[in-house]
Amino acid sequence: MKALLVSDTHRYLRYFEEALERVGPVDQIFHMGDVEGEEEVIRSLADGIPVEFVAGNNDFFSHESREKEIWFGGFRILMTHGHQYGVSTGISRLAAEGKARNAQVVLYGHTHRPSIDYVGEMALVNPGSISYPRQSGRQPSYGILEIDRYGEIHFTINYLPF
């Protein structure tokens, strides 16, 4: 199984479209917020691929939940934008929340900086921003979550050229 992880598109979808083309077929798309009203456009671009959204701090009029707990390929995932856990200054509060909810994976955004961290066996993954990156080099980034044939989960961060 394979999922595309994106966050913080902020109504700019050019690089989202490019990422979709590059990753090939995926089973799911997870968007960690700051969609700014473009949910239906993203669903249309996804062309039938299921998309899960959570609302970010800039999704003022969104009907999406601020958090979701979902199962994907046998893994319990907590999705959130992350701002309510202070992720701009660290992931300790988010990790504690993930642990309290028995999440095996926590997907979040908000910082516009990609990262993959582990707290015990729990993975905390931020795909960065595909539209407005803030990390060194400022390349648009997205993540891939893959579950291999042995049921092992793997994460990668990928970058698009300018």
Tell me the pLDDT tens digit for each residue of 31-75.
Answer: 999 999 999 999 999 999 999 999 999 999 999 999 999 999 999
pLDDT tops 80 at residue 162: no
Which residues, listed in sequence order, are joined to residue 52 by a DSSP beta bridge? 30
Domains of the chain, by residue range, sit at 2-159
Look at the alpha carbons of 93, 99, 100, 104 in this order and tell me if their dihedral is positive or negative. positive
**Whole-model pTM over 0.85:** yes
Structure tokens at 106: 């926590």
How confident is the model at residue 73, as a pLDDT?
A: 96
* Range of lowest pLDDT (1-5, 34-38, 115-119, 131-135): 131-135
CATH 3.40.30.10 fits 2-159, yes or no: no
Residue 93 backbone dihedrals phi, psi, to 5 degrees: -65, -40
pLDDT in tens, 66-122: 999 999 999 999 999 999 999 999 999 999 999 999 999 999 999 999 999 999 999
